[in-house]
Amino acid sequence: MIAMLNDETMNSTQNPQLPQQYGYRMRAEWERQESLWLAWPAKQDLWTEQLPGAQKAVLETAKAAHDGGLRVEFVVETPEDIEVVKTQLQAFKVDAHFHPIPFGDIWLRDIGPIFVSKDSGHLATVCFQFNGWGGKYNLAGDQAVAMEIAKTRGFPIFEAPFILEGGAIEVDGEGNALTTEQCLLNANRNKNLDRKANEKLLSDYLGIENVIWLGKGLHHDHTDGHIDNIARFVSPGVIVCMESLLKNDPQRDILADILKRLKKAKDAHGKKFEIFTVPSPGLIKGAEGDTMPASYLNFVILNDVVAFPSFKANMDEQVYYRLENLFPSKKILAIDCRDLLSGGGTLHCMSKNQPQA
């Protein structure tokens, strides 16, 4: 079953090819998973001297998934890369499945498909359009990755006729979603879609009933405010965001506004959420002295592990203990993401969780 939609059908509530009408929904990340999808960073011109560190972060994430019983699915560009990655994974005692698919860069959260499922467990994929984060980074291959991943595993495909990156939405699997006005209402994505039109499409394609709109994302974030850097669901009715504890934090005003909005937010049944915070890492600079959009919230939730980005900053330890409290049944793992962040994102951005069928 491949649902191919066009401009004439995208706004039709009667179209039988919409995932929501088949009973599909986007699951919460803490629901049981089968696989974690990763892509191998190999382009020296993109990563320069940060390439080895970025590769190490990817390998450590693969190990966390593998040790927790997940299949590790690696997207690689060439057969030669397969042999390179296999050799690297041997040192980590990790087995993986490899998929030669051309791609621009490793950010599978945004360029990969979004998995949806029925209550029966049947999986499908929604393949959204992608335009390089509003035309900033148009890299060859990125636009086709979602469809290629879906075809590789033989998943049913719903092709959505609008632009959406996976990092732009956060769901709890119960009909609620978090997003930002800065990203979804940005004219560089879907210039003809207003708030109501976005909410309708998120309902049609991902089964979302209630959208909580935050304002802006982090300063210096080229994604125009992806939600997975600023607010995450961690369990039903519970959201975590960041708070500024350091005077030189460039995100202080942004984070204060996020917390204010979340305290007023209500779920699909009119109930307020329970809000927790972790510290912001504060000012994190790149190799050239530029301010980076560093966030501890770019963690990835796996079956038995939560892996969070470490910046070797003063707040790393506090974040570790707060995540232990938020995820009492999971192991908390810190992965050094200083080099990975040079590419624009960290652990959540580069990975794609596949629910258990």
C-alpha Rg value of the chain to the nearest Å = 19
Q: What is the DSSP string of 83-140?
A: HHHHHHHHHHT---EEEE---SSS-HHHHSPEEEE-TT--EEEEEEE--HHHHT---T
Q: Are 150 and 127 in contact (CB under 8 A)?
A: yes
Q: Provide CB contacts within 8 A for 301, sequence distance 6+.
A: 29, 30, 234, 327, 330, 353
**3-state SS, residue 309:** strand
Other CB atoms within a 10 A radius of the CB of residue 119 amount to 8
- Sign of the Cα torsion 283, 240, 212, 32 reads positive
Instruction: Tell me whether residue 127 is one of the annotated catalytic residues.
Output: no
- Sign of the Cα torsion 328, 272, 182, 242 reads negative
Instruction: Residue 114: name the closest of 217, 182, 15, 37 by CA.
Output: 37
**Alpha-carbon torsion, ordered 348, 352, 356, 357, to 10 deg:** 150
Distance of CA 22 to the CA centre of its chain: 24
Instruction: Residue 133: name the closest of 142, 122, 125 by CA.
Output: 142
Instruction: Residue 215: name the closest of 177, 170, 185, 246 by CA.
Output: 185
- How do 71-76 and 97-100 pair as beta strands? parallel
Q: Are 289 and 219 in contact (CB under 8 A)?
A: no
**3-state SS, residue 270:** coil
Question: What are the catalytic residues?
Answer: 349
